[in-house]
Chains A and B, each alone.
Chain A
Amino acid sequence: MFAEQSTNKIEADSSASELALVALQNIIKFSLLLVYPVLFAQQFGLRSENFISVSLIAAAISALLIGSRWGGQRFFPTQASIPYFAILIFVAHQTDLAHVMGATIIIGIFQILCSAFYYLLKPFFTQVFAGVILFALGIWAAVLGVSEFFHPASLGQIMVHGVFSGGSIDPQSACIGLITIFLILTAWFSKKFRPYCIMLGMVIGCFIGFFWGDIPSSRFVYLTHTSWFAIPHFFNPISFSFSWQYWLIFLLLAAYGTIEYFSLVTTQHMENGCYSKNNNLKISLRGNIASGCGVAISGLLGGFAQSPIPGSVGDMILTNTFSRKISYYYAAFLIIIAFIPKFSALLMMIPASVNGAALILMGSTMVMSALNMIHIPMLSSAGQKAVGYSIALGVLINIIPEFYHAQFFKWFTNPSILVCSATFWALTLIYYLNFTTHEKH
C-alpha cells in the first residue's frame, strides 16, 4: 500500500499544481490520437490544423460534460474516439465529409439512447461483466503497445490488426522503449513521483529518442510547417448527410461504446472502493449520455468524434489518479492546445516506442485490475465458466486470422469487446447465474 496522495480519490481535495500536472500527463500520453484528425483532414483536403483545433475543442467540451454534475462527475480524458474510429474511417473512404459528420451525430444520438440498456438489462451489467470488458481492453492496449514498441510506423495504431501491421522491427526503437519502461517503473516505485510516472518516463524517453534520431523527419517537417497560432473556424460551412444504410452497425457500435463506458466507470469505482451497483449504474447512465452528447457535438462542430479513451483507466490505476477535478484542467489544456497547433505538432513527435512502453504498462495494469474485479474465487463454477469462455474467445478473436479479417469485425476497433459481451451474456442466460459461492438448490 502506498502513501496517501491527494489525487487518488474521486472526491479528493487536491492542489491546483497536482491536478494540472496529472492533466498534462494525460495530454502527453493520449495526444498521439491527434494523428487521426490529421489523417481525416488529409483525406478531405482540409487544413489539418483547423480540423485538429475543432476536434480539440470538441474533446474539451466532452470532458467537461462528463466531469459536470449532470454528467456524473467523473474524469475521463477524451480524444479521438476509439470505439467509432473504424466505422468513421470506413464511411470516409466510401462517401464524403458530410456523411462522416452525419454518421458522427447519429452514433452520438444512438449512444445516448443506448444508455437505457443499463436499466433495461440491469442484471447483465454487473461488476463481473465490467471486469471481463476491462480484461479485453487491457489486452488490446498492451498488445498495441508491443506493436508500437518494435515498429516506429505503428505510432498511434488503435486497431490490433490495423493498417500498420507488419513490417520490419527496429532494434533502436525497442531499446528506447525499454529505457522508457525502466524510467516509468523507477518513478512508479517512488511514491512521491508515482502520480506522474508516465509523464516523466515519456518525456525523458522523448529526449533520448530525439538525440538518437528515432523521430522521423516527416514529423519535423510537419512541426516546421505548423503555425504557432490558429483560430478554430467554427463557422466554416459544414454540411451533413445521413445515410441510413449502416444504421444497424451504428447502433451496434453505440452499444459497444456504452458497454465500454460502463466498464470504465465500474473500474474507477472499484479502485476507489466506492462501488455500489445502483450508484454505479446511475453514474454510468449520466456519463454515457454526456459522452454521447460529446460525440454528437463533435459532429455538429465539424470535428472528429471525441469520446473517453478506454486506455485512460489504465493510466489512472497505474498512477492512482482519479480525482474528478482533473477534468477541468484537462479541458483547459485542450483548449489552449486548440489555439496553439505548434504544441499539438510537438506532442505528435513522441516516438512510437515511448508511447508503446507506456501502453504496455497501462494495459498490464488493466488486465490485473480486471482479474481482481472479477474476483474468481467468489464466483460459482458456472460463473467461472462464463467468464472463462468470454475472455478466451475475446483473446482468440484477435489471434485467428479467419476471424479478425471477417468483414463484420472490420467495423469494430476492438472486436473482442463484442465477442466477450455476447459470450458472457449468452452463457449467463444459459446458466441463470448467481455470482456467489452459494449454489442454487
Chain B
Amino acid sequence: MKNTDSQQQYGFNDRVPIASSIVLALQFLIANMISIIFVVLIASAANIPSKIETNMISISLLVLAIVNIFQTIPRLGSGVLLPPSIAPPYIAQSIIALKTGGIPLLLGMTLFAGIIQAGFSLIISVAKKFFTHEIAALAILMIGVELTHYGFRAFMVAFSQTTLVSHGLTGLYHCLIFLPLVLLILLCQYGHRHTKTYYIVISVIISYIVFSLLHFFPDKQVKLFQVAHWFYLPHLIFGAWSFSKDLAISFVLGAIICAVKLSGSIMIMQDLQPDSTGKTTIWQVAKGNFWDGMGTILGGLFGCPGVNASSSAIALELSKGIMSKYIAYPLAVMLLILAFSQKLSYIFLMMPQAIVAAVLLELGVALIMSSVKVITEKATTLPTQLYLGIAFTVSLSQEFYPSIFSQLPNSIKLFTGSSIAIALLLAIILRLIFRFVISMQRKYLT
C-alpha cells in the first residue's frame, strides 16, 4: 500500500508496482555499481592481472546479490532495503593486503573482518547504550561528506581527462562534464512526479547517450567492452587464506565503521516509518549487522573485498523515501545477471567520471541533509548540541589537515585514521562525560 506521507513514497513493507520496482531497482543498481569501481581501483593499485580482476568483479556482484536478498527477509535479515556494495572502509587495507600477501592475504583478512562485523550483532544491545540516534545521524553525516568528497575528486579526474577528446572539442567536453549534475539538479525538482522519482536513471541514460554520441569514452574501456563476453562463469576462489597481525587492527576498524554505518542507517530509516514509535528495534539492527558481516565473510570465502550497506543507496532511500524491501528482488536479479554477463557489467564499469561525480555529489548532499534533519530534531539540549558540534568539527578537520592526524602516535592513529571514526569516538566519549557531569550537578546541587 503506497504511503501518503509526502516525505516517504514507499515504506519498508509497501508493495511497489512491478514496472516501478524495476526502474527503482535500476536506480539503486546505478548507485551500487559506482562502488564496483572500487574493485577496479583495488586491482589496479595492486597490479592484479585483468583475468583475476574480472573474476573478482563477478564474484563481488554475486555476493552483493545474495546479501541483498537475505537482508530483506525479516526472519533472517533486518527486513529493510539495504543494498550492499563494496565497502570503502576496507579499500586502503585491501590494497595493502594484496600488495604484501596477494589474494590469500586479502581473502583471509576479509574473512576475519567479516567475522568481526557479524560478531558486532552479538553486542548490539550493549553498544546501543552508547550509540544514540543523534550519534548515528552524525556517522551518516560524515559518510555524506565523504561521498561528496569522492564526487568532487571524480570531477577533478573528469576535468583532467582531456585526452579523451580531440583538441577542438575540449571546451565542449568541459561544458558537458556538468551535464549529468545539471540534469540531476533540475530533474529532481522539476517535471512530473515520475521524473522526480526516477531522476537518477533518466539523468544517467541521457548523459550516457550524449557521451557516446560524442565518443567521450576512453578507448581502452571501449575496447574492453567490445572484447567482453556476454556470458561469464566466475571461479570461486576457495581455500586460500592467510592472516597478518599487522593488518588486523585496520580491518577491525573498518568492520566497526561498517557496523556503525549500517546500524545508524537502520535507526534513521526506522524513524522515518509512519508507524515508528521512535524506539529502534534492536533485533532488526542486530540481524542487519549479521547479514552485512556475512556478506564480508562470503567475500572472504569466495574472492572479493568486504561489503557493507551502500552509502549511495542509503542516500537515495532517505532523500526520496523509497524504502520498500520488494525492490530488493529485481535488484538482486539485475546483480545476478551482471555477475554472469561481463559485457553488461562493463556498461556500468565504463561509466564516465563526470556521471560518477554527479551521482556521488547528489547522493552525498542528500545524505548530508537527511542526517542533519535527524540531528536538529533529536539534539534539543545544549550539551547534546555541543558534543555533536565538537565531534563533527574536529572530525572534519581530519579532512582539512590530514598531515596533523598522520603525525599522531600509532596507537591513537588507529582510531583517528578516518573522519568517521574520529566523529564517533569523540561523540561517544563526550556524551559519556557530559552525562556524568550533569548527573553530578543534579546530585549535588538539588
Taken residue by residue from 159 to 173, chain A's Cβ proximity to chain B (1 for < 8 Å, 0 otherwise) reads as 010000110110000
Say whether, besides A388-B368, A395-B145, A146 and B404 are in contact (CB < 8 Å): yes
Neighbouring A residues of B369 by C-beta, 8 Å: 376, 384-385, 387-388
Assess the A399–B365 pair: CB atoms within 8 A: no
B152 pairs with A396, CB closer than 8 A = yes
Q: When the two chains form their complex, are residues B400 and A150 in contact, meaning their CB atoms are under 8 A apart?
A: no
Chain A residues whose CB sits within 8 angstroms of the CB of B389 once the complex forms: 138, 142, 363-365, 367-368
Q: A364-B386, A371-B372, A384-B369 are in contact. Are A392 and B361 (CB under 8 A)?
A: yes
Chain A: interface size category: 35 or more
B370-386 interface with A by 8 A CB criterion: 372-373, 375-377, 379, 382-383, 385-386
Closest residue on chain A to residue B379 by CB atoms? A368
A391 within 8 A of B: yes
Given A168-B407, A388-B369; A147-B397 close (CB under 8 Å): yes
Partner of B373, one of A143, A361, A377: A377
Q: Is A381 an interface residue (CB 8 A)?
A: yes
A388 pairs with B185, CB closer than 8 A? no
A371-413: CB near B (< 8 Å → 1, else 0) gives: 1101111000110110111011001101110100000000000
B441 & A189 in contact (Cβ 8 Å cutoff) = yes
Task: Count A-B contacts at CB 8 Å.
Answer: 124
Query: Which chain A residues border B379 with CB–CB below 8 Å?
Result: 368
Q: Which of A146, A391, A402 contacts B397 (CB 8 A)?
A: A146
Interface string of A136-148 (1 = CB under 8 A from B): 0011001100110
Choose among A138, A368, A396, A399 the residue with the greatest number of B CB atoms under 10 Å from its CB: A368
Question: Is residue A207 contacting chain B, with contact meaning CB distance below 8 A?
Answer: no
Are A146 and B401 in contact, CB atoms less than 8 angstroms apart?
yes
Taking a contact as CB atoms under 8 Å apart, the answer to whether B401 and A143 are in contact is yes
CB distance from B289 to the nearest CB of A (A): 28
CA distance A430 to B386 in the complex (A): 35
Q: How far is the CA of A146 from the CA of B185 in the complex (A)?
A: 34
Residues B350-366 near A (CB distance < 8 A): 361, 364-366
Residues of A within 8 A of B382 (CB): 2
What residue in chain A is nearest B430 (Cβ atoms)?
A185
The answer to the question of B153 belonging to the interface, with a C-beta cut-off of 8 Å to chain A, is yes
Chain A residues whose C-beta falls within 8 Å of the C-beta of B368 in the assembled complex:
388, 391-392
Pair A402/B390 contact, Cβ less than 8 Å: no
User: In the complex, what distance in Å separates the CA atom of A372 from the CA atom of B388?
Assistant: 13
B111-156 at interface with A (beta carbon < 8 Å): 144-145, 148-149, 152-153, 156
Of the residues A146, A376, A396, contact of B148 by C-beta under 8 Å: A396
Determine if A427 is an interface residue (Cβ-Cβ < 8 Å).
Answer: yes
Chain A residue with the shortest CB-CB distance to B156? A402
A431 to chain B, nearest CB (A): 6
Contact with B386, one of A138, A368, A402 (Cβ below 8 angstroms): A368
Q: Given the interface contacts A371-B375, A400-B152, A431-B189, does A395 sit within 8 Å of B396 by beta carbon?
A: yes
* A147 and B372 contacting across the interface, CB-CB below 8 Å: no
Question: Which residues of B sit under 8 angstroms from A381, Cβ to Cβ?
Answer: 188-189
Q: Are A363 and B393 in touch, CB under 8 angstroms? A: yes
| Residue in A160, A186, A377 whose Cβ sees the most chain B Cβ within 10 Å | A377
A376 partner residues in chain B, CB cutoff 8 A:
369, 372-373, 376
B145→A392 contact, CB < 8 A: yes
> Looking across the interface, which residue of chain A has its beta carbon closest to that of B155?
A400
CB neighbours (8 Å) of A139 from chain B are 393, 396
Q: Which residues of B contact A368 (CB under 8 A)?
A: 379, 385-386, 388-389
Interface residue B410 (Cβ < 8 Å from any Cβ of A): no
Residues of A close to B394: CB separation below 8 A: 142, 146, 360
> Among A143, A146, A147, A400, which residue has its beta carbon within 8 angstroms of that of B156?
A400
* Chain A residues in 8 Å Cβ range of B446: none
Check B437–A189 contact: CB distance below 8 A: yes
Q: Do B189 and A364 touch across chains, with their CB atoms under 8 A apart?
A: no
- Asked whether, in the complex, the Cβ of A166 is within 8 Å of the Cβ of B403, the reply is yes
B372 lies within 8 A of A382 (CB):
no
**Judging by beta carbons under 8 Å apart, are A392 and B364 in contact?**
yes
Interface hub of A150, A151, A388 (most chain B Cβ within 10 A): A388
Residue of A with least CB distance to B145: A395
Contact A385 B375 (CB under 8 A): no
Known: A368-B389, A376-B372, A376-B373. A143 touches B396 (CB 8 A): yes
Alpha-carbon distance between A382 and B408 when the two chains are bound, in angstroms: 42
Known contacts A371-B375, A388-B365, A431-B189; is A400 also within 8 Å of B153 by CB? yes
- Assuming A146-B401, A385-B189, A430-B186, is B390 touching A364 (CB within 8 A)? yes
A396 → B minimal CB distance (Å):
5
Q: Is B392 an interface residue (CB 8 A)?
A: yes
Residues of A within 8 A of B361 (CB): 392
Find chain A residues with CB under 8 A from B396 CB: 139, 142-143, 395
Closest to B375 in A: A371
Please provide the chain A residues from 403 to 440 with a CB less than 8 Å away from any CB of chain B in the complex. 427, 430-431, 439
A384 to B379, CA, bound (A): 19
Q: Which residues of A contact B149 (CB under 8 A)?
A: 396, 399
Tell me, in angstroms, the Cα distance from A376 to B369 when the chains sit together.
8
Q: B156 to chain A: which residues have CB within 8 Å?
A: 400, 402
Q: Is B438 in contact with chain A by the CB < 8 A criterion?
A: yes
Give the Cβ gap from A238 to chain B, nearest Cβ, in Å. Answer: 39
Interface centre among B364, B390, B392, B408 (most CB of A within 10 A): B390
* Cβ–Cβ contact B390 & A360, under 8 A: yes
Q: Which residue of B lies closest to A161 (CB)?
A: B400
Residues of A within 8 A of B (CB): 2, 138-139, 142-143, 146-147, 150-151, 160, 165-166, 168-169, 185-186, 189, 360-361, 363-365, 367-369, 371-372, 374-377, 381-382, 384-385, 387-389, 391-392, 395-396, 398-400, 402, 427, 430-431, 439
Further pairs besides A384-B373, A430-B186: 17, Cβ < 8 Å: A2-B382, A138-B393, A139-B393, A143-B393, A143-B400, A143-B401, A169-B404, A186-B437, A360-B390, A365-B385, A367-B392, A368-B379, A372-B376, A372-B385, A375-B376, A389-B185, A392-B368
6 CB contacts below 8 A, A to B, read: A166-B403, A169-B404, A169-B408, A365-B389, A399-B400, A439-B6
Closest 10 CB pairs of A and B: A364-B389, A142-B393, A388-B365, A146-B397, A368-B385, A368-B389, A388-B369, A364-B390, A392-B148, A384-B369
Interface on B for A, CB 8 Å cutoff? 6, 144-145, 148-149, 152-153, 156, 185-186, 188-189, 361, 364-366, 368-369, 372-373, 375-377, 379, 382-383, 385-386, 388-390, 392-394, 396-397, 399-401, 403-404, 407-408, 437-438, 441
